[in-house]
A = this chain, B = another copy of it.
Amino acid sequence: MGDMGEKDLMEDAPGAGPGTAPEPRWLGDDEQRVWRAYLHATTLLEDHLDRQLQRDAGMPHVYYGLLVQLSQAPRRRLRMTELAKSAKITRSRLSHAVARLEKNGWVRREDCPSDKRGQFAQLTDEGVEVLRRTAPGHVAAVRQAMFDRLSPEQVTQLGVIMRVMAEGLEPAGPDADLPWLR
């Protein structure tokens, strides 16, 4: 949480001489306040949703997101790697997660015929049922935390801002896998 207050610790070398590490560009007071508000709000919301879903659906938010992704995919299934990408998690993490969801009976694994290394994760009927049962509560929680409290303009602004930030963080940016082209 309250990050970036490091300035206090670093009131040294104001007139950085030659051969000195460049004085980092600290955050101004305003920026610091924004950054703290950001951390504060995002952690509170994530915690809130995690608890809400753990209580009502018996799984953390990330797992819920996986089921949602599957529910929207053709035939309710996705290759593991696709699912991992769209959920922004590592394949390793996904493996564990799917194993758990499979135990719950909400997801089933299927071999990919065209690529013997491949696996599909498919949402089961029970998985669909869990979503049907718990989605309303989840939507309500999101609405209550975000959309019911922000003006339409603010919602728009938030959307723009988040897209800008995401762009800058996209796994090493556009052409990440083609560094030799830059």
Contact = CB atoms under 8 A, between A and B. Distances in A.
Interface residues of A, number: 74
Contacts of A40: 88, 162, 166
Interface string A56-92: 0000001011001101100000000000001110000
Contacts of A3: 64-65, 68, 138, 142
Interface of A is mostly: helix
B168 A145 contact: yes
Given A24-B136, A42-B46, A154-B157, 6 more contacts: A1-B88, A6-B71, A6-B135, A41-B162, A149-B165, A150-B161
5 contacts: A25-B143, A34-B162, A38-B159, A42-B42, A42-B46
